[in-house]
Chains A and B, each alone.
Chain A
Amino acid sequence: MGKFIVKDAVVTIDGVTLSDRVAQVAVEMNADDVDVSTMGTGVHEHLAGLRNDQFTMTFLSDFDAAEVDATLFPLLATATSQPEFTVSVKPQSGSTSTTNPAFTSTKCILLTYQPISGAVGARSETQVTFPSNEAITRGTT
């Protein structure tokens, strides 16, 4: 796969494919930046700290069965329950491969959920962040 336009990404949340309700998606893989600078070097020295990976998405709101709200609401963490679930994102449809890798976490959580958000007359959209309790993996098979 060469250069491409994002229009056919595959987004799966807890086993439900919601690709056609996703307006924006990002896979964010970060490590904390730990400063280990010492005297005499004249530069900052960095070490990778704890990983802090997450997926961020903007959904077009949909309250139909097996769509956005029906999928996300049961996953929302509460005082008594913090479900961990799988989130997977691929650049485009088709088989997972070295040129179409799947970025996956099996330990995502949902801490904040805005089922309705929008100004009068705007499309109803829902911005969601899925923090991952493990490093996101890059699968090629």
Chain B
Amino acid sequence: MPPSLIQDIRAGFATALEHLNDGGKWIKVSPYVLASPMPPTIQVMPGEITYDIANARGGDQIMFTLQAFVVNNFDQSAQINLDRMLDDSDSYSIKTLVEADSTLGGVIDDLRVVRVSGYQVYSLSGRGPVLGADWEVEVLTSSV
């Protein structure tokens, strides 16, 4: 089965965020939602799709959430890294990394990191409270 556009977009996000992995030293990026995510990790979740933003299947709008789980012991150094991911002037900035190639290698027409939730405390099964944040990304696709 050939990869779908959404699969390609997921892969594009993973590639865009590879820098954060720092050669395997830091955060892992999963294009798919993980059954049991182990911080630090980022997972990609497709959200609402608005079909037919242009006539004749000219394009769709797809929302994605990039969900980062940074640390489960509220370690200060991990919080500093999360701050860096929030800060669009930093080399760890999610917004800057994702928007560096706004077509994800030609897969889509355009994207924009619209907003970030700020610090969130997640409750993951078997891990206790986990600190992280959600980035909302708007993707515009075109059928031609």
Q: Is A8 an interface residue (CB 8 A)?
A: yes
How far is the CB of A17 from the nearest CB of chain B, in Å?
A: 9
Q: Is B112 an interface residue (CB 8 A)?
A: yes
Kindly name the residue among A9, A11, A20 whose own CB sees the greatest number of chain B CB atoms within 10 A. Answer: A20
Complex Cα gap A10–B54 (Å): 12
Proximity string of chain B (54-76) to chain A, C-beta cutoff 8 Å, 1 when within and 0 when not: 11111101000000000000000
Proximity string of chain A (1-13) to chain B, C-beta cutoff 8 Å, 1 when within and 0 when not: 0000011111100
How far is the CB of B140 from the nearest CB of chain A, in Å?
A: 7
How far is the CB of B96 from the nearest CB of chain A, in Å?
A: 16
How far is the CB of B72 from the nearest CB of chain A, in Å?
A: 33
How far is the CB of B114 from the nearest CB of chain A, in Å?
A: 7
Contacts of A11 in B (CB 8 A): 55
Q: How large is the interface on A (under 10, 10 to 19, 20 to 34, 35 or more residues)?
A: 10 to 19
The verdict on A7 contacting B59 (CB below 8 Å), with A20-B143, A121-B112, A123-B140 known, is no
Q: Is the CB of A123 within 8 A of B56?
A: no
Q: Is A23 an interface residue (CB 8 A)?
A: yes
Kindly name the residue among A9, A21, A22, A93 whose own CB sees the greatest number of chain B CB atoms within 10 A. Answer: A21
Q: Is B53 an interface residue (CB 8 A)?
A: yes
Q: Is A19 an interface residue (CB 8 A)?
A: yes
Complex Cα gap A1–B112 (Å): 39
Contacts of A93 in B (CB 8 A): 56
Complex Cα gap A23–B58 (Å): 9
Q: Is the CB of B142 within 8 A of A20?
A: yes
CB proximity to B under 8 Å, residues A1-59: 6-11, 19-23, 25
A-B CB contact pairs (8 Å), 25 listed? A7-B55, A7-B56, A7-B57, A8-B56, A9-B56, A19-B55, A19-B56, A20-B54, A20-B55, A20-B56, A20-B57, A20-B58, A20-B59, A20-B142, A20-B144, A21-B55, A22-B54, A23-B55, A25-B55, A60-B54, A60-B59, A93-B56, A121-B112, A123-B53, A123-B61
Give chain A's interface residues, CB within 8 Å of chain B.
6-11, 19-23, 25, 60, 93, 121, 123
